[in-house]
């Protein structure tokens, strides 16, 4: 029995390097050697993850096919790939209505054991609908941004983001920064972002925001100062804190759109100024994950350097230092994208 190293998650402060058998594959599956795996903000949402612990997390991965089942014909040994952990059935009413991320199959699929491992087994359904070949123009480091960028592509698509509009991005973690970059690519007239962390605000200014606001300030007041007295045409909520949600509700212009990208913890209720939102004809939408076409769009954007992601990498760590990576991301101080490299 061949063993591999994995980073087993027990909680944000207890991630252990353990041995597991390298997964066996059947005739319809492939085995992928993980070269890079990003730590997502959702990986450190302890209230969400701990109920399933212990488990191997990691879903932003780039790797190489090193073993292939006899029935798999569309991939070859050595193919460089991005693998989507969640894939839709493409048959249910949601999928047929282009609402793939509501598909029950998408919510139940995954690869095994998780991206913070030396190798992962890709089940048949993922092989058929969730494995994407990487062109040489995309590095393994860049590949970890495909999944989060796909989520942002869907966010902007559902919000019906338009050029020459003013944008407020609340929260300057990786999701917020990718919103900034994509809004810039899509032709936003003015982009203003917020955060409580001055380090992240500096990164946001450096990577595309016209102005930044420390969220300790009166965000609505400061935004209007920077935007000729007007509120935001598009508000992208990329922070799940209650004050941030309230800021989003108060920052949107008449006829504007609020995209709820980040969730609060379950059970939290937010006061809802229905009259004001009704009177201003505000559109409010939410999003979860990314659909296959969003992944394809993200790959296109990265491959063709429409969206530059290298400047968002703050740390590259070996698998043995995954615990350090989780602390960096959960503390949210001086880190943006932390990448785990299992074979270095």
Whether the CB-CB separation of 156 and 186 falls below 8 Å is answered with yes
Residue 332: pLDDT over 90: no
Q: How far apart are CA 50 and CA 265, in angstroms?
A: 13
CATH number for region 3-145+309-341: 3.90.180.10
What is the DSSP secondary structure assignment for residue 305, as one 8-state letter?
T
Mean pLDDT of the chain: 97
Output the CATH code of domain 152-286: 3.40.50.720
Q: How far apart are CA 310 and CA 200, in angstroms?
A: 15
**Percent over 70 (pLDDT), the chain:** 100
Residue 24's CB is within 10 A of a number of other CB atoms, namely 11
pLDDT in tens, 156-209: 999 999 999 999 999 999 999 999 999 999 999 999 999 999 999 999 999 999
Contact by Cβ (8 Å): 217, 194: no
Question: Looking at residues 284-311, what average pLDDT do you find?
Answer: 97
Question: Can you tell me the mean pLDDT for 228-245?
Answer: 96
Model pLDDT, residue 344: 85
For range 265-287, the mean pLDDT: 95
Residues 92-141: tens digit of each pLDDT: 999 999 999 999 999 999 999 999 999 999 999 999 999 999 988 999 99
Q: How far is CA 178 from CA 119, 203, 228, 262, 266, in A?
A: 28, 11, 25, 13, 25
Instruction: Please give the Cα distance from 223 to 17 (Å, whole number).
Output: 45
Both structure tokens of 86: 């969640």
Write out pLDDT tens, residues 16-27. Answer: 999 999 999 999
Outline which parts of the chain fall under CATH 3.40.50.720. 152-286
């Amino acid at each position: 029995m061949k063993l591999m190293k994995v980073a087993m998650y027990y909680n944000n402060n207890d991630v252990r390097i353990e041995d597991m058998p390298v997964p066996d594959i059947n005739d319809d599956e492939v085995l992928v050697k993980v070269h890079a795996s990003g730590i997502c903000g959702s990986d450190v949402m302890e209230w969400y993850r701990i109920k399933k612990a212990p488990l191997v997390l990691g879903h932003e991965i780039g790797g190489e096919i090193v073993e292939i089942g006899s029935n798999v014909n569309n991939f070859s040994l050595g193919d460089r790939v991005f693998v989507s952990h969640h894939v839709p059935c493409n048959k249910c009413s949601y999928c047929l209505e282009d609402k793939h991320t509501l598909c029950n199959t998408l919510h139940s699929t995954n690869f095994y054991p998780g991206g913070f491992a030396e190798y992962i087994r890709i089940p048949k359904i993922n092989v058929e609908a969730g494995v994407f070949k990487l062109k040489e123009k995309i590095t393994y480091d860049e590949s970890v941004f495909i999944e989060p960028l796909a989520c942002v592509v869907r966010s902007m698509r559902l919000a019906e983001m338009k050029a020459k509009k003013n944008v407020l991005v609340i929260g300057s973690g990786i999701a917020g920064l990718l919103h900034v970059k994509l809004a810039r690519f899509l032709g936003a007239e003015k982009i203003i972002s917020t955060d409580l962390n001055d380090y992240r605000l500096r990164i946001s200014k450096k990577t595309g925001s016209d102005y930044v606001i420390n969220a300790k300030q009166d965000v609505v007041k400061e935004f209007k100062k920077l935007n000729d007295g007007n509120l935001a045409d598009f508000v992208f909520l990329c922070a799940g804190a209650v004050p941030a949600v309230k800021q989003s509700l108060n920052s949107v212009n008449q006829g504007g759109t609020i995209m709820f990208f980040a969730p609060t913890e379950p059970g939290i209720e937010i006061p809802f100024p229905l009259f004001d939102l009704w009177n201003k004809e505000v559109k409010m939408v939410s999003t979860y994950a990314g659909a296959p076409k969003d992944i394809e769009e993200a790959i296109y954007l990265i491959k063709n350097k429409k969206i530059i992601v290298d400047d968002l990498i703050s740390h590259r760590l070996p698998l043995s230092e995954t615990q350090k990576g989780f602390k960096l991301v959960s503390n949210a101080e001086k880190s943006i994208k932390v990448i785990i490299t299992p074979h270095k």
